[in-house]
Amino acid sequence: IVYRGERAYIRHNQIHQHSLVFGYGETPWGNTGINVNGAHNEVAFNQMDSIAAIGIELRGDFSDVHHNLIRHSSLLSNQTAAIMMHAPGQGQQLRHNLLMYGTGEVESLDGKLQPQAYGIRLANAHEGLRITHNTIAHFSHSGLFLQNNRNCQLLYNTLFANPLFATDASSTAFVSDYQNTFRHNTLVELSPEKVLIHTQNQQPSAFPSRFVEADSNTLVHPFGQMVVLEERTEGGKTVLTRYSLQRWQNTRQQDLQVTARIDEWPAFRLVDTLSPNMLYNSDFNYTITDWSATPDEVILSYEEGVPGMEGGCLKVYYPPENDLISIIGHTGLSIQAGQVYALSFKARSDDFRTVRLEVRQENSPWQDLGFNSWVPLFPDTHTYTYLFRATASSPQAGLRFHNTPADPLFWLDDVYLHAVEADKLVAETHIMLVVNPHFEAREMPVSPQTETPQGEMVPQQLRLNALASKVVLLRQDSLLTPLQTPLLSHEPAPKVYPNPVAADGVLHLGLPQRAVGSSLRFELLDTGGRLIWQGRLPVQAALPYALPLAGGKLRQGLYMLLISRYETGELLYTGRLMVE
């Protein structure tokens, strides 16, 4: 879609699997889903999947880009971004957009491949922008990239796991401007080598008096050691001009003086405090202690030289001829009801598998303490982090890994379990942060469902996509994995009940009072972004509804569910559905 002009409404369009037609720079629209040039335009409620390079490219003043869903932008030209604005402009708004999965690399002058995918990229003298309530996840360069802009407000955004790009322009949130505000944002990050906000201006003469104000942000980063650089006073108040991690690989760092730990700085609330009696295992140190395994055939051993593991790790082997689920565990943990905990570990697997993670009361009576979920392990070595809220207290809790008998071997290292500060993101969800560089979709089998003599249930045969993501939100006691954050409004969203899709393909959901009198559109997409089914439901009362999806004839597998208002297209809910 290409539009040149003013005051247009570009809404409710679906653009799927857009291919590269021209190289970047040959035409201004050759590899863009929606290209708009003009003032006072609105781009809203659009959905894009598998865009060749740029989802929305915007030029002009006072435009409003909101409630767009853009997924899977792939680099087939010099750079890719879900939303890009690289011409001067003022007064634009980018709000309530959901941007996920951007991949791609380009070859630099020294022959090295460098990531070049952005969630939002704004450059070249924008002024007065408002970037609010966006959710941005998994872009190979930066989730949010601003360069040479001023008087911009970045408020209430949520950014997930955007990997490090080791230059001055590397960041989850990159701010290279002056007189900008960065407040009330939530950053969820795994890598300890991350630049979060960086204010190096590549054209300092353009803006000689620049600074960034940052406060009231939440950093979900359990294990990083962080420092503040160049703390100074501006206009009678202390402002943050630059901060980074101690392990930041930057050639200019030796010229700066470290002045304070970031957890002493009011701009961010760190959640990395280790609690007493918690599990902290940075290495297995040549011996396997405090870990148990059942049944007796399970062999625990120490091994070095495992790809992706530093030092030694725990090798878990279970002979494949056995038909029982194997369990390895660690006990003696102290869990407090209502507290949010972070469980992180590094695991290596030769193939895709599912394991069940459980935090439980070990002494009689047995009790689940708030975390009991089947989760995927991807091929090769990855780090996995889960945040969960304890539902009960126990001075003798245990951590357990339940492994299916069809998968005899995996490796484990760097296991952490400790308390973190409560965060709005984990009030009702498990947050699974997966470092997974494999973005390609792959279908992989899971063991068929059986009941073992121990009473354990193994999942049914499913054909799964590799989730193509690094962040999955798992609702407690549910097969649904919502990707919803403060995406649309502060009002209640539809509630999808636990285990929402049974064998008959019926979705059970409750609707808020504000939905009464309107109609809802339901769209079901497969893991490749293709529309499988869509339906309409008139809402007469705020009561539980049972909705047959695709006439109750869904095949087994993983799907994406979108719920929106039929009249306006307002996106109310996004989530993943698993059909057993």
pTM above 0.85, yes or no: no
Enter the tokens of residue 356: 């069940």
pLDDT at site 143: 81
pLDDT at site 9: 93
Which of 42-46, 325-329, 360-364, 483-487 is least confident? 483-487
The mean pLDDT value for 463-471 works out to 26
279-475 topology per CATH: Jelly Rolls (2.60.120)
The half-sphere exposure of 96 on its side-chain side, counting CA atoms within 13 A, is 16
Round to whole Å and give the CA distance between 90 and 314.
56
pLDDT in tens, 216-236: 555 544 333 333 333 344 565
pLDDT at site 451: 36
Enter the tokens of residue 473: 């939100």
Name the residue type at position 371: F
Q: Concatenated DSSP letters for 380-425?
A: EEEEEEEEEE-SS-EEEEEEEEEE-TT--EEEEEEEEEEEE---GG
What's the sign of the alpha-carbon dihedral 246, 250, 256, 262?
negative
pLDDT in tens, 375-408: 667 667 777 767 677 888 888 888 888 876 656 7
Across the beta sheet with 326-335, what order do the strands follow?
A: 291-294, 326-335, 394-403, 353-361, 367-377
Q: Where are the domains of the chain?
A: 86-269, 279-475, 481-579
pLDDT in tens, 73-85: 665 445 678 898 8
Q: In the chain, count of helices (H) and strands (E)?
A: 0, 54
The mean pLDDT value for 38-49 works out to 89
Cis peptide before 365 (omega within 30 of 0): yes
Give the pLDDT band (50/70/90) at residue 292.
confident
Give the pLDDT band (50/70/90) at residue 8.
very high
More confident residue, 212 or 420: 420
Close Cβ partners of 258 (under 8 Å, ≥ 6 residues apart): 227, 228, 229, 246
pLDDT in tens, 84-111: 887 778 889 998 888 877 776 666 666 6
Task: Tell me the range of 288-297, 428-437, 472-481 where mean pLDDT is highest.
Answer: 288-297
Round to whole Å and give the CA distance between 104 and 113.
9
pLDDT at site 12: 87
pLDDT at site 6: 93
For residue 140, give the 3-state DSSP assignment.
coil
- Exposed / middle / buried, residue 541 (Cβ in 10 Å: 0-12, 13-18, 19+): exposed
pLDDT at site 241: 36
Close Cβ partners of 263 (under 8 Å, ≥ 6 residues apart): 226, 270, 272
pLDDT at site 20: 52
pLDDT at site 267: 35
Which of 159-173, 306-320, 424-438, 460-474 is least confident? 460-474
The mean pLDDT value for 145-156 works out to 77
Check whether 302 has a pLDDT greater than 60.
yes
The maximal CA–CA distance of the chain, rounded, in angstroms, is 73
pLDDT in tens, 532-555: 788 888 877 766 677 777 766 777
> How many other C-beta atoms are found inside a 10 Å radius of the C-beta of residue 203?
11
Percentage of the chain exceeding pLDDT 70: 45
- Give the closest residue to 387 by CA, choosing from 470, 468, 473, 279: 473
pLDDT at site 336: 86
Which of 136-140, 218-222, 334-338, 484-488 is least confident? 484-488
Per DSSP, helices labelled H in 396-525 are none
pLDDT at site 480: 27
481-579 topology per CATH: Immunoglobulin-like (2.60.40)
pLDDT at site 5: 93
Check whether 525 has a pLDDT greater than 70.
yes
Give the pLDDT band (50/70/90) at residue 305.
confident
Same fold, 279-475 and 481-579: no
Give the pLDDT band (50/70/90) at residue 574.
low
